[in-house]
Structures are given as structure tokens and as C-alpha cells.
Amino acid sequence: MTFTGAIGAVCMFPLHAIIRVCVRLRIHPNVLTLTGVVINVLAACALGLRRFVLAGVLMVLANIFDFIDGKVAKELELESRFGAFWDSVMDRFSDITLFIGLIYLYSELQRTDYVIITALAMMFSVMTSYTRARAESLIDKCKVGFMERPERIVLFMIGAFTNRMAAVLWVILVLSVVTVADRIYYTWRELRQAEDLVPRGARL
Amino acid sequence: MTQIVTWPALVLWRALFWTYERATWQYDLMVIAILAFVWLTPPSWIGDPVATDPGPVEWVMGLLR
């Protein structure tokens, strides 16, 4: 087993217990999703006020809700297409909120350079999700690139708990740019291959 | 000679054009590289506005000076 796999397996123990409690209480998964967003807003406020450890704790809490909502929906047989849409939209709110907290902090500190870096990291994080969603309306799957939401969230937590947010922002920015480029290239390649399979006369 | 040139290029290409799943050894390597950058880069090198400690590398460099 890889070490990231082992960490994931260890984290699953308490999460299974929380999922069981939520299922027993029959909490609607959409409520869990919304609760996660509200806690993420509080985490963003803590980031903005330079309370990094508190922000880290709130992020852990928020992402527990974010992680379990799908599992609870499955257990309660409440999976729906709207639930998937709601979860996806709320994820974008949560992502952007955390970046806004940091933008507020760096603007308070009059660090224009880091305001720009954070804004760019926010833009490319949103673009990472958008490119995949748009690509998967054209091709079967577009799951390439390293920097997806779980990686971003864990990096935010590491940055908050160890007070290394600047380095984390650089990593998120650079790898998000690469991920967006990967998805654009992959989609172009897949579409070109699909077009090559269609006889020239049959094309629209 | 061609292999010597193409091998690092291939590694770089595979690191950039990422197609590996989570919990693979390639994923572990990438995570280690990222954590090394985050924890070992001295905050002063990247002008970190909020870091309060110099970090291990700058601490060692201070000892060597």
C-alpha cells in the first residue's frame, strides 16, 4: 500500500462512524452540503483574520460534511441529479470563499503581489473544474491533471496548520495552470481522434 | 545517447501531463515533492507575508554562517 493510500484508509475510520450517525438521524445530504459551505465561510473569515490554526480546524470540519454528503445520500437512497448539481455548485462557493479570505488578509497587509497570486490561483482553480465539466459534455471523461479539489483542500489545511500559506498558494497556482493545460490538450486530442474516425464526407 | 536525453524528458512530460490515479507510487512521489517544497522553502525566499519562523533550511544556513 502507498503512504497516501494508508493515510486515506486511516481517515476513513472516523468518517464511517460519522456517516453512520448521519444515516441514523436521517439528515438530508443537501443539508450536509450546505452546512459544509457555511463552515467554510467561517474558515475563510478566520483566514482573513490571520487565525490560521482555527481556519485549519474549521476546514477539516467543513470538509467532513463535504465528504460524507454523497455517502449519506447513497445510504439513504436519496441520490439525485439535483443533489450532484447542488454539491458541485456548493463546492465552487467553498473554494472561492477560502481564496477571498486570503485576498482580504493580503490586501490588509498591503501585499499586492500575494493578492494577485491568490486571485490567479482562485481563477485557475475554478477553471480546473470548468474545463473538466465542459470537456465531459464533449468527450466521455476528462480526468487528467494533478491539482483537483481534494488536493487543493488538503494543501489549504497544510498551509493553515503549518503557517506556510504562501508556498501552498504557489503550488496551487502552478499545478492548477498545468492541470487546465492538461485538460485542454487532452480534450483537443480526444476530439481530433474522434473526428479522424468519422469519414470526411459524413462530417457536418 | 538518445535514451539518455529522452528518459528525463519522458519523466518531465509524465509529471506535467498527469494521468495517474491517487494512491499510486507516482502520486506518492508527487506528494513528497510538494510537501518538500512547502516545508523546506525558506519563507523569505518567496516573500511569505505571514510566516513567523524561518523554516529548517534557513535555520541550518544560519548555523553554517
The 10s digit of each residue's pLDDT in A52-71 is: 999 999 999 999 998 899 99
Nearest to B22 among A4, A167, A171 (CB): A4
Q: Which residue of A has its CA nearest to B19?
A: A144
Tally Cβ neighbours within 10 Å of residue A100.
18
Q: Which residue of B has its CA nearest to A172?
A: B34
Cross-chain Cβ contact A171/B41 below 8 Å = no
Give the CA distances from residue A117 to residues A107, A112, A114, B39, B50, in Å, rounded to whole numbers and listed in that order. 12, 9, 5, 19, 15
Alpha-carbon torsion (B13, B16, B22, B27), positive or negative: positive
CATH code for the domain of A196: 1.20.120.1760
| Cα distance between residue A168 and residue A47, in whole Å | 14
| Cα distance between residue A40 and residue A38, in whole Å | 5
Angle at A112 between CA A109 and CA A116, to 5 degrees: 125
Whether the pLDDT of residue A201 is over 80: the answer is no
How many beta-carbon pairs below 8 A join chains A and B? 82
Cross-chain Cβ contact A167/B46 below 8 Å = yes
pLDDT, mean of residues A98-105: 98
Place of cell 452546512: A35
The 10s digit of each residue's pLDDT in A1-41 is: 888 989 888 988 889 999 999 999 999 999 999 999 999 99
Q: Is B34 on the interface with A (CB under 8 A)?
A: yes
The 10s digit of each residue's pLDDT in A130-153 is: 999 999 999 999 999 999 999 999
The count of structural domains within chain A is: 1
Q: Which residue of B has its CA nearest to A151?
A: B31
Chain A residues close to B51, C-beta within 8 Å: 163-164, 166
Residue-by-residue pLDDT tens, chain B, 65 positions:
556 668 889 999 999 999 999 999 999 999 999 999 999 999 999 999 998 888 888 888 888 88
Q: Which of A163, A164, A171, A172 to mutate to test the interface with B (most CBs of B within 10 A)?
A: A164
Helix residue ranges per DSSP H, chain A: 3-24, 29-48, 52-75, 81-108, 112-135, 149-161, 165-197
Domain that holds residue A143: 3-202
At A40 the pLDDT is 97
Cross-chain Cβ contact B46/A170 below 8 Å = yes
What share of chain A in percent tops pLDDT 90? 84
The 10s digit of each residue's pLDDT in A71-97 is: 999 999 999 999 999 999 999 999 999
